[in-house]
Structure 1
């Protein structure tokens, strides 16, 4: 045990970094993945089940309300509030799973829980930056990744198995119990490292006004009508609605860059403009265009690769081995990569390690290209798969996958440390949410055209092209304002 700045006993960072990010990963996998499995197993149509893609919307647009988590209350208080509310939601869902008439209610509860979970994520990320120094933030990146991955495995493995074999009331009940125990641990032993600028009660007084409720009602009606129109448009319906909304909002952020000076002058006379100050403070820095382009391009090549790695293993005849390769080989390698990457960044600095780490991450695309040329004639896509299930080929595939996950862990350490370094003191949670939003939307669009590209040129050439798409981020490293990144990361 250690003592926090308030003099109370608290858990050491090694412990709470694990527990908080386990608590972050579990609701995500339950809402984004397990909900789809549950609704389909309950007999819901494929068309209706497809609407669960809307559950991803809060994670893409969470930067819209993140500034208020920075300005009212503390990250610790928001973490605890959203966590206990998630416990209540999953408990209620567990009870309602016993009744077939409750499926629409459960769908609504999942949607509301998605907003809570996205806010919970934002609070945890902000708390992590408030409670740790710059060096500690890099050092514990590996523990964050490990906890999150274990939570994902727990949700997609243990919870799904219990739901399928024993009943969903026990599955969601167990999830609520685990989150409840984590809440009690965090309530008791999570360090107090931040003072509230304004109380959460003051925020509630500002939010729950007649005008605000009326505006939200009108926005909800317009959004609902737009979703109905969107779903009935054959061409648009093939693309997730949440991804489109996220893209439009983040594109609007990019449009603010050339106008930031004018907007900054305008909000000086309005100190209560929390939303505007958060966004403008993010873009009010040297070489912001290079920074935003770097964030967008950082993982494009990796996203292209990861979106087609599974289909590639299936098409080359290694379908039966893909599960244990990703689990037994991929999981430990990704954790080791993130831990080693975080340790080296803390020891050597991000500026020294970013280029070799990104080079390693992007070389995995070429490794997959070599594997594809080896397993498929001329690197082309072969419908129906081919027989390559030999010991030598399996070992080759394992080696490539191990390198991919290990280098991906190094890239994750770079990404997290870089984004944390961009977060300014007053809006750490908001700035981190903006950064992750930019990256995630770029990844969605990079992965969306990958299948078409594979059908056109084949797997091997596709992996080579994905490497080319990774080069802009490496070139942009030399245009990044490193003193600015280092300065703004100080707690």
Structure 2
């Protein structure tokens, strides 16, 4: 009975849906809500960048999670806490100071979500054999992105219909109420379904010992050969994509008189959150096979181009301003396919070039923090740049922003200069 209950297919889908949903609720849905509240693109980009900061620093507290009695306890607690925080946005919207109240509870939700990422992957690794990890790796990515499909597709579409029927505030009250209840439901189910995955209890395993090890990990990371050029590469890789990911959805909502496409919330959900998400998943799978076939060194230029060349889609849309939703949907699906296809290159660079060494897993986690630092930085400035340049010139700037990493990729090593790594890097969701 217990073995049947802990069949991986009974908990992996809900575990990774609970990883993806809050991330996309904070990174995408909240931005659309602020747009409906008539906030400027610069303000929206600043707040989204602020809320994304938790994913930068999560490697600093990740080792201390091993002090808990089990990974399941941490995972379920964070899912329930995150659900409560996301649900509190619905309450915050009822006050005149709705923005500060929403940001406050979403800040707590972002810390919970970033911390959950660590424990979620740790539970997955600890609960499955290496064969099982490989066997179910595709499920993790699929259900993580199901969170995007639910948030950016289904919930945005629903928000659009509710805005027309009940008004903006009531619509988003319902949406964040649904998100909060969904997360609490997932946490309750996972309390029943997840394997316990107890952490080892050792006499020397205490906060002081963990802090000492963390210090060693950080020092070793910055002593890696060529680490600063690697950090620069990781940060620049998402320079264009981060800005498009922030401003692109807002451009779709912008009034045509102001240079946007004038779509309503429901239409954005339909064209970006459904077809675009499916294209992203297909692109991610194809990019993995492509890189495996060609090798990272030979594939990296194509992968960088795949992430950035589809941004021509937005340059075209900002000039042509089409009204046909089919044309817009196909264009956005092309952009999302390229993003999924090329993003594999950055993941593999961090895994295969930067992470290997004495602390492979920890150094991979630090590299993802660096990646998020780059994303947050370029997201934070994107609104100000767009406000200064207008949409047409902004999307041209985004293409120019991809040139430095394209050039850099041809001059830096694409193989690890560390030898003797014996620690496995976790599967990427």
On whether the aligned pair clears a TM of 0.5, the verdict is yes
Q: Judging changes above 3 Å, is the alpha-carbon distance between structure 1 residues 388 and 365 closer, same or farther for their aligned structure 2 residues? A: closer
Deviation at 1:335, TM superposition (A): 1.8
Q: CA RMSD in A?
A: 5.0
Q: Judging changes above 3 Å, is the alpha-carbon distance between structure 1 residues 198 and 186 closer, same or farther for their aligned structure 2 residues? A: farther
Q: 1:20 — aligned with what?
A: 15
Deviation at 1:408, TM superposition (A): 0.6
Note if 1:116 corresponds to 2:112.
yes
Q: Once the two structures are superposed, what CA deviation does each residue of 1:159-183 show, in whole Å capped at 9, x if it has no partner?
A: 7877967677765553343223322
Deviation at 1:465, TM superposition (A): 1.5
Greater shift, 307-316 or 398-407, is seen at 307-316
The 8 Å contact of residues 283 and 337 in structure 2, kept in 1 or not, is answered as yes
User: SS at the partner of 2:409?
Assistant: helix
Note if 1:319 corresponds to 2:262.
yes
The 8 Å contact of residues 291 and 480 in structure 1, kept in 2 or not, is answered as no
Q: 1:287 — aligned with what?
A: 226
The 8 Å contact of residues 71 and 123 in structure 2, kept in 1 or not, is answered as yes
Structure 1 unaligned segments of length 5 or more: list them.
Answer: 207-269, 377-386
Matches of 1:308 and 1:38 in 2, distance apart? 14
Q: 1:276 — aligned with what?
A: 215
TM-score by length of 1: 0.62
- Number of corresponding residues: 405
The 8 Å contact of residues 65 and 119 in structure 2, kept in 1 or not, is answered as yes
The 8 Å contact of residues 76 and 187 in structure 2, kept in 1 or not, is answered as yes
Q: Once the two structures are superposed, what CA deviation does each residue of 1:240-267 show, in whole Å capped at 9, x if it has no partner?
A: xxxxxxxxxxxxxxxxxxxxxxxxxxxx
Matches of 1:116 and 1:481 in 2, distance apart? 33
Deviation at 1:83, TM superposition (A): 1.6
Note if 1:481 corresponds to 2:416.
yes
Greater shift, 304-313 or 174-183, is seen at 304-313
Q: Judging changes above 3 Å, is the alpha-carbon distance between structure 1 residues 426 and 161 closer, same or farther for their aligned structure 2 residues? A: farther
Matches of 1:127 and 1:276 in 2, distance apart? 24
Deviation at 1:273, TM superposition (A): 1.0
Q: 1:175 — aligned with what?
A: 179
Q: 2:59 — aligned with what?
A: 63
Deviation at 1:469, TM superposition (A): 3.3
The 8 Å contact of residues 148 and 273 in structure 2, kept in 1 or not, is answered as no
Deviation at 1:477, TM superposition (A): 5.6
Matches of 1:178 and 1:16 in 2, distance apart? 15
The 8 Å contact of residues 334 and 407 in structure 1, kept in 2 or not, is answered as yes
The 8 Å contact of residues 20 and 124 in structure 1, kept in 2 or not, is answered as yes
User: SS at the partner of 1:458?
Assistant: helix
Q: 2:378 — aligned with what?
A: 446
User: SS at the partner of 2:219?
Assistant: helix
Deviation at 1:461, TM superposition (A): 4.5
Deviation at 1:298, TM superposition (A): 1.8
Matches of 2:293 and 2:287 in 1, distance apart? 10
Q: 2:345 — aligned with what?
A: 414
Note if 1:297 corresponds to 2:229.
no
Task: Give runs of aligned pairs for residues 70-469 of structure 1, distance below 5 A.
Answer: 70=66, 72-89=68-85, 108-130=104-126, 133=130, 135=134, 139-140=138-139, 142-153=141-152, 154-158=154-158, 171-191=175-195, 195-196=199-200, 273-309=212-248, 318-320=261-263, 323=268, 324-342=270-288, 353-365=299-311, 371=316, 376=319, 389=322, 395=327, 399-420=330-351, 431-447=363-379, 448=381, 450-451=385-386, 454=389, 458=393, 461-469=396-404
The 8 Å contact of residues 360 and 425 in structure 2, kept in 1 or not, is answered as no
Q: Once the two structures are superposed, what CA deviation does each residue of 1:202-223 show, in whole Å capped at 9, x if it has no partner?
A: 65xx8xxxxxxxxxxxxxxxxx
User: SS at the partner of 2:410?
Assistant: helix
Matches of 2:28 and 2:403 in 1, distance apart? 31
Deviation at 1:426, TM superposition (A): 9.0
Matches of 2:112 and 2:260 in 1, distance apart? 41
Matches of 2:63 and 2:386 in 1, distance apart? 37
Q: Judging changes above 3 Å, is the alpha-carbon distance between structure 1 residues 185 and 388 closer, same or farther for their aligned structure 2 residues? A: closer
